[in-house]
Amino acid sequence: MSQRTLTSIFLLVFTMSAWMGGSSAQNVGSNEKHPIQVIDSYPQFQLHGRPFFAHSAAFFYNRIPRDEWGDTLVKLKEMGINTIDLYIAWNWHEPGEGKLDFDGATNPRRDVRTLLGMIDEMGFAIIARPGPVILNEWRNGGYPDWLLSRPEFEMNEAARRDGHYPPLSGLGASNSEEASRRWLANETHLSYTRKWFDEVMKNLLIERQATRGGPLIAIQLDDDQAINRANYNGPRFWSYMNRLADYLREAGAEVPLYINPTDMRVSAAGTPHRIGAMGQWYFNFGSDAALRWEDSSTLQFFTETLKTQPGFPPMIIEYQAGWYGTGDDTYAKTADPTNTLLSSRLMIGHGLRGLNYFPVQDTIYPAGYEVPWANHYYSWESALNLSLEERPRASALHRNGRLIDGLGTELGAAHKAADLGLVYPISSFEQTKLTREDVMRISNTQMQIQQFCRLNQMTVEYLDLEYQPLDHLKRHKAILLPVFDNDLSQTAVKKLIEYVNAGGILICTPAAPQVAEFRDHTRVFVVPDFWRNVPLEPAKTGREEVISAIQESSVEFVSRLARLGITRRIKARVSRLGETRLPASSVGATIEPEFEATQLVYGKSGFLSLVNFDQKNSLSLSLNVSDPADSTRRIELSALQLRPRDAMMLPLRLPVSDAVIIEYATAELVRRQYANGKVSLRFYAPDPAEVVISLPHAPQGAVTVDGTPGTFKYDDQAKRLTVSIATGATKPSDKALETDRRKGEHDIEIIYEKNIPQIDVKTDRLIIGYENDIAVAVSNPTAQPLRGSLKLTVRRGLKREMLSQDIEIKPSSSQTAVFKYTLSEKAVEFDLAPLAAELVIADRKYRSPEMIAELRKRFEWVLYPKATWPVRADTAQAIQPPLVYPSDDAATEAKFNLLLANNSAKPITLTRVSTLVTSFPLRLGPDEEYLGQYTYNFSPGTKSVINPFSVTISDGEKTEVARVNFIALRKGEAVAFTYDIDRDGFEDVVIENDFLRLIISPDAGGRSFALINKITGKNIFTSVGGLRDRFALLDPSDPTRNPRRKRGMYGTFNRPYSIEIVQGMGDRAVVRLAYDAPDVWPGSARIEREIVLKAREEFFTVDYRVIPQGKFDGQAFVASGSIAVGDPSDSSRRFETADGVADFAAGKTIKLDVKSGYLFAPLADKTTFALIWRPAEVAEATIEMKEFSSLLNLKFTPFTAGSAFSSRLLFYFGSATPERLRSEMEGMRGR
């Protein structure tokens, strides 16, 4: 018997005994707290005893200032995020061998221990990714530089210093076996990885695991393993993955371990190793920025292959309907913002149970941790910018977030209801014999069949005959089997025979497999290759062509299935709104490529997922769908309109309470509640909609829609209430809804019962670090006393805390109960905690409406004015503590305001002590604010540029410190100082006068990300960086630095420069920077710069001195810089050169006349940027016009053997016109 057969038999036994459950729950691990539970044979995520849909966000904490972590998490939670994905980068937390920092001792952003506590406190689930390699466009893929420098890693020095990933990380994408063999052969790598995993588990993760009551639900092994379906992942690969898994498990890992492949050949292959797979999907731009219906083939394929894992829920761990910005431009490529809603809803509709936005927010690298191909501003043009301001993609995230926040338990438990099982046979073929062409042929055929079924509204679910047990096949009355020339394994054949013999129907296409048992079998059928004409590539085939090509075969295919007793769960009649001709149909359902519908079910309830890809046309729908409560019955939904590029998730048989059930709605339910006898429902309904509700009796009071009397009808015989939602202006029914309801949402309220106990939570604020009184008012309108248990639930994200007390209320009276609730010091300010009470009396429960309580500090303070710096035309970053400048020309004083507020329910007295004066005690009543002004007086003739100042604020119990830094910039002078402007833990250099502010990051290659005109506030430099240093010739033996073979902006962009402030105040500011570059081909070199900004000038000069070490034939120094000409938010689109005017044109490169010595860029705000050089020092000058910015390159004259090279550049950014600059530039060069 072959090894393969033995493995297959073992696997079948393993999956049946260890992972699969019957009709009851069975956990994958050893206790009921395990975060994966298998319910009715479907694996689902559970936390704190409840199923949930993992609506996740990648949180790049090392790219976010430490003091913004809380605000960012609060914003994510507001958008409906319930899970946080964390890369824990090894080189970030162990910057030197043995020098571990998980607490922020060496850099505030390394305080991941506190971050994990904040995440736990807020009730998020956590997914951790500790490497050892994390990639993520992060320096060296997170692998420690001090380790990669060892010879065992065979890494080119220049590549290592540039931040490239370890060589085997790249190899793994095409040859997993060889990469794994070499990783396993590297004992240094293995031993240090084992130590790292031990430290991460011991210090951060072990007690936070869900199995121990914590929020951690999964841990990733390495990064981007098993990517590419043509890549063979054999025994060596699994040996390496098991080695990493063993290290984590011996360190205490109990939660599921997984890998994160993109398009893995066999997603379920980790099943016998207890290693799951979470997928990746990024939008492939191609020639179109919009997602097309043809893209659905890949989205469904990725989802379905992940679902073939018998014991691991399908989740996309890296999801983004776009791509990140490149290292040489300022914006990421623009994608249609509707891509996010359409792609995510399509995957959810096919049964996805977790989705991780990668990322939600754009961020900024800490200095020195970039890679050549990514931008310092790590921008995806994602839902939130650096300042947490919403962008167009945020709309889709809110839509998903509100759906999942309201119905995440149900969506986490629901699975797709399929009409057919569709075998994906690739795992059943001999893997070592499959060529790339074989793999692509098999997978493309699979997707064509899948798409053919989709176009015929025939829903399929993938089946893996090697890794899924027979019970999974038996879910389906019929299975569709694509047949290829390759031989199926014995396991696969045996399973199919058992399925057919058990009563299943096997439909083969385009022929039957050569299996003796199938010959003349009454339940084995063959259908031809109807699917051959189905396109997979977007925009290659017109909509009408597709319909015409498949219509005839569609009718035959569906009719054959109907004769076998296979009916479609969903039949949709679809027409474009206003279209008069009858659309093409397939036996009672429309063939419409732009439309997709699927059904999700759990228990007797479910959802109907609808997607419209059409860019221009609304779709008019009439739907006939299977009743999830009884598959023999159908539900009719008519006159439903689906807008262009929109998606809806409609409820089917969804309970609101034990007695109240939403039978169906033609709108998307986002919130439901039954409290105080009132049914409260919120729907997303941009067009008129209908809601049908099962009610045992007619409402006893008003039925309102958006606070006004609604149009409704109650059928007393059917016990059914039908409510109409009309679009147009909406009137919120109360103050809470006024701020909470989003565009397109509508509220239905039904007074269902009267004269029942009324319960209301009265507390809407909780104070952090204190015991809080939560008041619950209970009113008894009945003639009988009420005796029972009053329970209060405090919901903190996915966590719930419950308090209870016995209560007795006399007839026709009211009472207020008070619960004591202590809120931890670790709670995050501005987080929200929904509060709900329930009165349990005998066999009846009465519930209160949910009250949203805000978490606040007892007192708070805010400093004004706020300080920011412009990262990009549309994005600014706060400077904390703020920099405050003098209010007079002589810099004798500076002023700031301090706002103080009391958030508690009691008066408090605050003391304020500063370095200059102790203020009188300040008494503030509840919710009272006070704005006070402080004046700082500089010492006469001070020589100190930066002057720290603080105010200590205390209420006698808590003490906080408000800090500012005063800058002694006198009019007519220039200053230079160091300050951590971007709060990355690395000092920046600021050089400024009355006109200009230049910010330089020494640890980011001495680049400047800001040259700001202080009059207009405009930043002409970009996040690519001004003042970039590089050399013309790259090492030809290092392919990673060869521009013909690898993308990237090379040079010293991530190297640490030393700094010296030669003159920090006075008539000029002078700063020197230097770096010894050991990897300048073919030797090394020292780069020195002296930057001078004079007090009354609108320009600064840079004097370069480059000292080569070794023979440098043909090598030359290049100074580059990116400027914001081409920014889409700015109309500045012109250059003036010696050859005339050149308009900005993306993708164009202009060669400049070096003898002219200048380049001018007149800007829309009447200022001019100029770059001026000495002609004799420059050999070549170019402007590379990128899509959104312009890169200026000056290549200096080649080095002369044995001598240093010197040159000067002048950067002007001021009010002079190009004409004036031409006349004055000779004098400026010499000044």
Task: Tell me how many degrees the CA angle 229-232-236 measures, rounded to the nearest 5.
Answer: 140
Check pLDDT > 50 for residue 868.
Answer: yes
Pick 363 or 1043 by higher pLDDT: 363
In this prediction, residues 1201-1209 reach a mean pLDDT of: 88
Compute CA distances 671 → 88, 125, 596, 634, whole Å.
Answer: 35, 21, 24, 25
Handedness of CA 683, 685, 686, 689 (dihedral sign): negative
pLDDT, one tens digit per residue, over 121-136 is 999 999 999 999 999 9
What percentage of the chain reaches a pLDDT higher than 90? 86
pLDDT at residue 118 greater than cutoff 50? yes
Query: pLDDT tens-digit profile of 1179-1196?
Result: 999 999 999 999 999 999
Place of tokens 């000409």: 1125
| SS3 of residue 256 by DSSP | coil
Tokens of 856: 């606040």
| pLDDT tens digits, 250-260 | 999 999 999 99
Q: Which residue has the higher pLDDT, 326 or 1037?
A: 326
Residue 1059 confidence class, pLDDT cut points 50, 70, 90: very high
Alpha-carbon span 311 to 11, nearest angstrom: 12
The owner of tokens 């920090």 is 1064
Peptide bond into 881 cis (omega under 30): yes
For residue 1114, what pLDDT band results from cuts at 50, 70 and 90? confident
Work out the burial of residue 4: count CB atoms within 10 Å of its CB; fewer than 13 is exposed, 13-18 middle, 19 or more buried.
middle
- Look-up of token digits 């199923």: 51
Q: Which is nearest to 307 in space by CA: 480, 474, 463?
A: 463
Q: Report d(CA 1026, CA 1171) in Å as an integer.
A: 11
1144 torsion bin: left (phi>0), alpha (psi -120 to 50), beta (else) = beta
Query: What percentage of the chain's residues is helix, strand, coil (to nearest 5)?
Result: 20, 35, 40
Residue type, 899: L
Bridge partners (DSSP) listed for residue 6: none
Q: What is the mean pLDDT of the chain?
A: 93
- Cα separation, 1093 vs 1231, whole angstroms: 11
| Better-predicted residue by pLDDT, 794 or 32 | 794
pLDDT(13) > 60: no
Distance (Å) of CA 396 to CA 288, 343, 354, 399, 668: 20, 10, 16, 5, 14
| pLDDT tens digits along 605-623 | 999 999 999 999 999 999 9
Which pair of structure tokens corresponds to residue 52? Answer: 């949930």
What is the pLDDT, as a whole number, of residue 7?
Answer: 35
Averaged pLDDT for residues 667-676: 98
pLDDT at 940: 82
Tell me the per-residue pLDDT of 228-255, one tens digit each, with 9 for 90 and over: 999 999 999 999 999 999 999 999 999 9
Taking alpha carbons only, the member of 774, 791, 785 closest to residue 840 is 791
pLDDT reading at 5 higher than 50? no
Flag whether pLDDT at 21 surpasses 50: no
- pLDDT-derived band at 728 (thresholds 50, 70, 90) equals low
Residue 1109 or 1068, more confident: 1068
User: What does the pLDDT average to over 1013-1042?
Assistant: 89
pLDDT > 80? residue 330: yes
Query: Which residue in 606, 257, 191 sits closest to 413, CA to CA?
Result: 606
Which tokens in the block code for residue 882? 């703020």
Q: What's the pLDDT score for residue 582?
A: 63
106 falls in which pLDDT band (50, 70, 90)? very high
Mean pLDDT over 1106-1113 rounds to 87
Average pLDDT (630-644) is: 93
- pLDDT, average across residues 395-409: 98
The H helix count followed by the E strand count for the chain is: 19, 74
| Confidence at 100, pLDDT banded by 50, 70, 90 | very high
Confidence of residue 1220 (pLDDT cuts 50, 70, 90): very high
* pLDDT for 931: 95
pLDDT recorded at residue 918: 74
* Residue 1037: predicted pLDDT: 77
Residue-wise pLDDT for 561-574, tens only, equals 999 999 999 999 99
Q: How many CB atoms lie within 10 A of CB 200?
A: 25
Query: 1 pLDDT exceeds 50?
Result: no
Please compute the mean of the pLDDT values over residues 395-401 and round it to a whole number. Answer: 98
Q: Looking at beta carbons, which pairs linking 239-245 to residues 24 or more positions away fall under 8 Å?
A: 239/180, 239/184, 240/180, 240/183, 240/184, 241/180, 241/270, 241/273, 241/275, 242/273, 242/275, 243/184, 243/190, 244/132, 244/193, 244/197, 245/221, 245/273, 245/274, 245/275
Does residue 586 have a pLDDT over 80? no
Per-residue pLDDT, 1046:
54
More confident residue, 678 or 514: 678
In the chain, the largest separation of any two C-alpha atoms, in whole Å, equals 105
Q: What is the DSSP string of 982-1044?
A: T-SSS-EEEEE-SSEEEEEEGGGTTEEEEEEETTT--B-B-TT-BSEEEES---TT-GGG-TT
Q: What SS3 state is found at 400?
A: helix
Strand, coil or helix: what is 402?
helix
Q: What is the mean pLDDT of residues 454-483?
A: 97
| List of residues 6+ apart from 709 with CB closer than 8 A | 702, 703
Residue 587 pLDDT greater than 80, yes or no: no
With 50 as the cut, is the pLDDT of residue 88 above it? Answer: yes
The pLDDT assigned to 668 comes to: 98
Per-residue pLDDT band at 176 (split at 50, 70, 90):
very high
* CA-angle at 271, arms to 265 and 272, nearest 5°: 120
For residue 388, give the H/E element and its range: none
CA–CA separation, 390 and 398 (whole Å): 10
List of residues 6+ apart from 615 with CB closer than 8 A: 290, 644, 645
What percent of the chain is modeled with pLDDT above 70? 95
Res 508 pLDDT > 90: yes
Residue 735 has pLDDT above 90, yes or no: no
Can you give the pLDDT at residue 108? 98
pTM given for the model? 0.95
Q: What is the mean pLDDT of residues 194-217?
A: 98
Whether the Cβ atoms of residue 635 and residue 627 lie closer than 8 Å to each other:
yes
pLDDT at 674: 98
- Model confidence pLDDT, tens digit, residues 700-710: 999 999 999 99
Cα–Cα distance between 574 and 690 in angstroms, integer?
18
pLDDT in tens, 357-378: 999 999 999 999 999 999 999 9
Domains of the chain: 3-413 (3.20.20.80), 418-567 (3.40.50), 569-655 (no CATH), 681-754 (2.60.40), 758-855 (2.60.40.10), 886-967 (2.60.40.10), 974-1230 (2.70.98.10)
Per-residue pLDDT at 857 exceeds 70:
yes
Q: How confident is the model at residue 734 (pLDDT cuts 50, 70, 90)?
A: very low
pLDDT at position 922 is 93
Write the CB contacts of 286 (distance below 8 Å, at least 6 apart in sequence).
538, 539
Confidence of residue 22 (pLDDT cuts 50, 70, 90): very low
pLDDT number for residue 578? 78
pLDDT of residue 738: 46
